Structure 1
Amino acid sequence: MEHHLSSVKNSSRLLKEFLDGPKELGVTELSRRLQLSKGAVHKLLATLESDGFISQNPSTKQYSLGFTLLELGTKVLRDHNLVDFAKPYLQQLAEKTKELACLCVVDGKDAIYVDKIDSQHPIRFNVDAFRRFPLYATSASRVMLAFRPEAFIDSVLADGIRTYTPHSMQAPDEIKERLAAIRSRDYEISTNLRNVGVTGMAAPIRDATGEIVASVSLIGPSDRVVPQQDAFLQQVLLTTRNISFGLGYR
């Protein structure tokens, strides 16, 4: 039996609706999304608003995320030693390649970019920091998913596979085959799978126990990245080796 307080669970579900939803949501829309009565949703909103987790727009009467969440998120990042430790290596990678360099971690069944250094080029690819996305979706997330237990991989894929471009992988077996290839070479390179015209490459970061705790990825327009793919990949691998070494991995 799961020991969850239904009110806390519903509050968590409500807050997560804003992650991939619009900036503001109303009671009716939240009621539909959460499949809860309007009265129940209104009580949840009132409680969350009282502690600053939710804010109501006085003009539209719609709700958005409150600044207490920003304070908590900033605290998480400030206390996340990996982010601070990896920052100089990430900056060096971005300076040498002049492309977008990202640090990615696993959270539950999702991946999150917890840090990034933007490209120096005027025409460049960008990602939203701190946004969640499926573990099978990008090179950065797949290099972490590939080394997870088989049962965990199955559970991630069982939740459904979202496609982003006509080139996106659509079948669990196709994704599993790609994950096996990642395990054999210890890095990933992909083009057009998440965004058409974009190439990403990534390698995992290991701690002193050998556990994969994060990944570093390099992302940019394919017409600029592909011609330098081998050289860029060596820079990514050097970056992850140095970070892993600093974490005690041998």
Structure 2
Amino acid sequence: MTEQKDRPNAIEKALELLLAFQSQRAAWGVRELAAHLGFSPATVQRLLKSLKAYHFVEQDPETRQYRLGHVYFRFLEVLQAQYPVTREAAPIMRRLSYDTGETVHLNVIDGRERVCIDSVESPQALKAGMPIGNRSPLYAGASSKCLLAFCPDTFVESYLAEEDLKALTPNTPGTVAALRQELAAIRKKGYAESLAERTPGLGSLSVPVLGHGGNLLGALSLAIPELRYRDPAHKARCLELLQSAGVELSRRVGHTGPYPPAGV
């Protein structure tokens, strides 16, 4: 009886199926997806047929593989409207991208990961992309480390005690001691920086977005191709403009204290 009770129902199977579509694997064939999920191909085919009817998935006519459907764009505006920080951030992000020529992205913590909730792409031919929905662990990359650094101490200690720091590139922080030292430096400076910690050829700068009482709401970041990131004058200008944008956005969403908060 227990085994039967623990078996996922049709709705749970459909949710597991949808969660299999990630930026690292955006398209699936039926048999590949069935093997990945541990479901029968017939079950996966049936679920996909139902999801396709409501545009949650669509099928590429050439490859016959499935990908997420366009229905999610209907939810994007609703989700962003529920978070005041995205409304306030939008004009600031557009101006920051125009002034720096770089991609600007807004990030929050979701569980134990960083997730991008809004992005303004660089107008330049050589640019660093950051799609909405992109995820990464909290120990790699400027935006991730910025979020982690300004989290409450209880969360930080729990994360450091439990997270397995897997090297994404040779530049990824490799030990808890090294990461802890970086987090302390970020809190002291008020910003985070990284080069090729998640993706080779990509540099990043990030500042916290703070709300009422200094609580962390997110991280505002610039994604910069390594070629321009290594230009000291450009990097310094980007950091100055980013910090000003971080102060402005934090004030707009209710922060009245020091930025970054004293004693963090």
- TM-score w.r.t. the length of structure 1 is 0.83
Counterpart residue number, 1:66: 69
Determine if contact 1:111/1:132 at 8 Å carries over to the other structure: yes
2:252 aligned with 1:246:
yes
2:256 aligned with 1:225:
no
Name the amino acid aligned to 1:224. Answer: R
1:124 positional shift: 2.7
Distance 1:91 1:70, change over 3 A: closer
Determine if contact 1:136/1:142 at 8 Å carries over to the other structure: yes
Distance 1:59 1:239, change over 3 A: closer
Name the amino acid aligned to 1:127. Answer: M
- Unaligned stretches of 5+ in structure 1? none
Among all aligned residue pairs of Structure 1 and Structure 2, give the percentage whose two residues are the same amino acid: 26
Looking at structure 1, the residues matched to 252 and 195 of structure 2 have their Cα atoms a distance apart, in angstroms, of 30
1:144 positional shift: 0.9
Counterpart residue number, 2:183: 179
Name the amino acid aligned to 2:188. Answer: S
Looking at structure 2, the residues matched to 6 and 99 of structure 1 have their Cα atoms a distance apart, in angstroms, of 45
Determine if contact 1:109/1:156 at 8 Å carries over to the other structure: no
Determine if contact 2:34/2:40 at 8 Å carries over to the other structure: yes
Looking at structure 2, the residues matched to 108 and 115 of structure 1 have their Cα atoms a distance apart, in angstroms, of 18
Of 120, 144, 149, the match for 1:146 = 149
Looking at structure 1, the residues matched to 48 and 160 of structure 2 have their Cα atoms a distance apart, in angstroms, of 30
Name the amino acid aligned to 2:211. Answer: D
Determine if contact 2:56/2:69 at 8 Å carries over to the other structure: yes
Name the amino acid aligned to 2:176. Answer: P
How many pairs does the alignment contain? 247
Determine if contact 2:137/2:144 at 8 Å carries over to the other structure: yes
Which moved further from structure 2: 40-49 or 153-162?
153-162
Counterpart residue number, 1:216: 220
Which moved further from structure 2: 100-109 or 203-212?
100-109
Counterpart residue number, 2:39: 36
Counterpart residue number, 1:136: 139
1:63 positional shift: 2.4
Looking at structure 2, the residues matched to 12 and 136 of structure 1 have their Cα atoms a distance apart, in angstroms, of 28
Map 1:1-250 → 2, pairs under 5 A: 6-7=8-9, 8-57=11-60, 60-149=63-152, 152-153=155-156, 154-155=158-159, 158=162, 160-226=164-230, 227-228=232-233, 229-250=235-256
- TM-score w.r.t. the length of structure 2 is 0.79
Distance 1:30 1:155, change over 3 A: farther
Q: Secondary structure at the match of 1:194?
A: coil
Quote the RMSD (CA, aligned, Å). 2.8
Cα deviation code 1:185-212 (max 9, x no counterpart): 2211122322334321111001113211
